[in-house]
Amino acid sequence: MTQTPSKTSQSEALFARARTVTPGGVNSPVRAFKSVGGTPRFIREAHGAYLTDADGTRYIDYIGSWGPMILGHDHPAVREAISDALQYGTSFGAPGEREVQLAELVTRLTGAGKVRFTSSGTEATMSALRLARGFTGRKLIVKFRGNYHGHADGLLVEAGSGLMTNMDGQLGESAPSSAGVPEEYASLTLVSEYNDPAALDTLMAERGTDVAAVIFEPVVGNAGVLIPTPEFLAALHRVQAVGALLIADEVMTGFRLSLNGATGLLGLKPDLTCWGKIIGGGLPVGAYGGRSDVMDFVSPQGPVYQAGTLSGNPLAMAAGLATLRALEADAGIYDGLESYTSQLAGGLKTLAAEAGVPISVNQIGSMLTPFFVDAPHGTVRNYAQAARSDTATFGRWFQELLARGIYWAPSQFESIFVSASHTPTELDATLEAARAAFGSLKT
């Protein structure tokens, strides 16, 4: 008798094969569903607001490739730009016009004096910190607990994202956050509390003259969404008075919260900014930029070395250009994203309350996290408060959504990302699934 294949048999088979040849079966940890359990879906294709897995099941996608797909998947303008670039070769190892065009567009949209392209967000933050050290001649950096800036050694200290849940799904507490990071590296990274202006002021009063840079997520996505208070933003700007550079890590928020990211939305004045994700339109691109006098320290103009075989890759530049141009051309796009996401947030609040499930929702623009914690909405402000979430209940809720065709972020400590392809149809379907998912938590 032949067995009916389960809805996940192809993903299960691929996961088994993957585990024999790749650590944990994935190329980036959170994809393995460790903290929510179950089989990670292997994705076959993605169009608009939808993912289709290897078993042919369609999901409304709230990951958006962890941020880049703000226009939705397989956007015609981006696809055309990549196909057009493809006719002329895939990598030159020499400069080309698209790099100049994207740099011109990024500097115009963000006010940065100069930018340098990399191939990932991690390279951007790592390079920006080396630059800050080279420019100031100082060694220390300051970061905030639960902020994630990629996986460079000195940044894997009290870090967020996949590091907030370890292999067993428990909260990670130690610094450094990863094996393989020497204490000596970690000791050059000072950690302060997000949204605690007094703690930052005290730290800077004690150590400020040795601090090369303070790096921060202007809106945190990697501990779940945390929104900064005006007092904290003011304290961040005070670090510039003692000669430390202020580095806004806009890898997640850049071009997502506005055309000039969180910087534009919140009126920030960083010395340097890091970008990734949307700037490459779904292809591998990162960038760092800002004050020209600082950027001129980068090689070959200056003494701080940084390079990349595939930096400025023509296909990646084409995808980034098409994405940013589409965002700039559509004046209503950010209002539309905000409207969808705030309706989603409102719906989740109502449905959870009806089902008697305590959640605390943080939402800004197209970023949103429902923390499964008993606190008023909008009051989760730092790592410790986020870490009180009931991750087991979140995991059950996640599975209930997935079973109903909604692909939510597979960790409590992540933001979801809404795209311009999400319409009222997807909103209604999501809220219907969420109603059932909250309802099922009681049983």
Nearer to ligand PLP, 57 or 222 (CB): 222
Q: Least separation, in Å, of the C-beta of 20 and ligand PLP?
A: 25
Q: Least separation, in Å, of the C-beta of 3 and ligand PLP?
A: 39
What CA–CA distance (Å, rounded) separates 370 from 358? 10
Nearer to ligand PLP, 288 or 398 (CB): 288
Q: Least separation, in Å, of the C-beta of 381 and ligand PLP?
A: 18
Residue 62 falls in the annotated catalytic set: no
Among residues 64, 121, 154, 197, the one that binds ligand PLP under rule CB under 6 A: 121
- The residue with tokens 């075989």 is 309
How is residue 39 annotated by DSSP? P
Cβ–Cβ < 8 Å for 275, 288: yes
Residue 376: is the preceding peptide bond cis (ω within 30°)? Answer: no
CA dist list (Å): 218 to 16, 276, 320, 425, 439: 39, 14, 22, 32, 35
Nearer to ligand PLP, 249 or 390 (CB): 249
Residue 7 falls in the annotated catalytic set: no
**Does 278 interact with ligand PLP (rule: CB under 6 A)?**
no
Catalytic pick among 50, 59, 62, 148: 148
Q: Which residues contact 246 (CB under 8 A, 6 or more apart)?
A: 213, 214, 216, 236, 237, 239, 240, 269, 270, 271, 272
- Strand, coil or helix: what is 360? strand
**Does 217 interact with ligand PLP (rule: CB under 6 A)?**
yes
What CA–CA distance (Å, rounded) separates 346 from 340? 10
**Does 150 interact with ligand PLP (rule: CB under 6 A)?**
yes
Task: Pull the structure tokens for residue 217.
Answer: 């997520």
Among residues 249, 271, 400, 426, the one that binds ligand PLP under rule CB under 6 A: 249
Among residues 125, 127, 323, 363, the one that binds ligand PLP under rule CB under 6 A: 125
**Does 347 interact with ligand PLP (rule: CB under 6 A)?**
no
What CA–CA distance (Å, rounded) separates 380 from 34? 24
Task: Pull the structure tokens for residue 278.
Answer: 């949307």
Q: Least separation, in Å, of the C-beta of 397 and ligand PLP?
A: 23
Nearer to ligand PLP, 121 or 154 (CB): 121
- Phi, psi at 364, each rounded to 5°: -150, 130
Q: Least separation, in Å, of the C-beta of 433 and ligand PLP?
A: 26
Q: Least separation, in Å, of the C-beta of 222 and ligand PLP?
A: 5
N-terminal to C-terminal alpha carbon distance within the chain? 35
Q: Which stretch binds ligand PLP (CB under 6 A): 148-156, 162-170, 230-238, 317-325?
A: 148-156
**Does 222 interact with ligand PLP (rule: CB under 6 A)?**
yes
Task: Please state at what angle helix 76-86 crosses helix 314-329, rounded to 10 degrees.
Answer: 150
- The residue with tokens 């008798």 is 1
Residue nearest to ligand PLP (CB): 121
Q: Least separation, in Å, of the C-beta of 125 and ligand PLP?
A: 5
Cβ–Cβ < 8 Å for 247, 128: yes
Among residues 25, 276, 282, 365, the one that binds ligand PLP under rule CB under 6 A: 276
Q: Least separation, in Å, of the C-beta of 122 and ligand PLP?
A: 3
Number of residues in contact with ligand PLP under rule CB under 6 A: 17
Among residues 18, 227, 252, 317, the one that binds ligand PLP under rule CB under 6 A: 252
Nearer to ligand PLP, 71 or 248 (CB): 248
Among residues 33, 50, 144, 148, the one that binds ligand PLP under rule CB under 6 A: 148
**Does 282 interact with ligand PLP (rule: CB under 6 A)?**
no
What CA–CA distance (Å, rounded) separates 150 from 125? 7
- State CA 134 to chain mean position distance: 27
What CA–CA distance (Å, rounded) separates 35 from 396? 11
Cβ–Cβ < 8 Å for 225, 348: no
Among residues 15, 42, 62, 66, the one that binds ligand PLP under rule CB under 6 A: 66
Q: Least separation, in Å, of the C-beta of 277 and ligand PLP?
A: 7
Residue 277 falls in the annotated catalytic set: yes
**Does 120 interact with ligand PLP (rule: CB under 6 A)?**
yes
What CA–CA distance (Å, rounded) separates 337 from 235? 30
Catalytic pick among 277, 288, 334, 390: 277
Nearer to ligand PLP, 135 or 148 (CB): 148
Task: Pull the structure tokens for residue 338.
Answer: 């905000």
**Does 64 interact with ligand PLP (rule: CB under 6 A)?**
no
**Does 149 interact with ligand PLP (rule: CB under 6 A)?**
yes
Task: Pull the structure tokens for residue 270.
Answer: 């960083």
- The residue with tokens 């879906």 is 41
Q: What is the CA radius of gyration of the chain?
A: 21
Using CB under 6 A as the criterion, which residues of the chain lie in contact with ligand PLP when the complex forms? 66, 120-122, 125, 148-150, 161, 217, 221-222, 249, 251-252, 276, 286
Catalytic center residues: 148, 249, 277
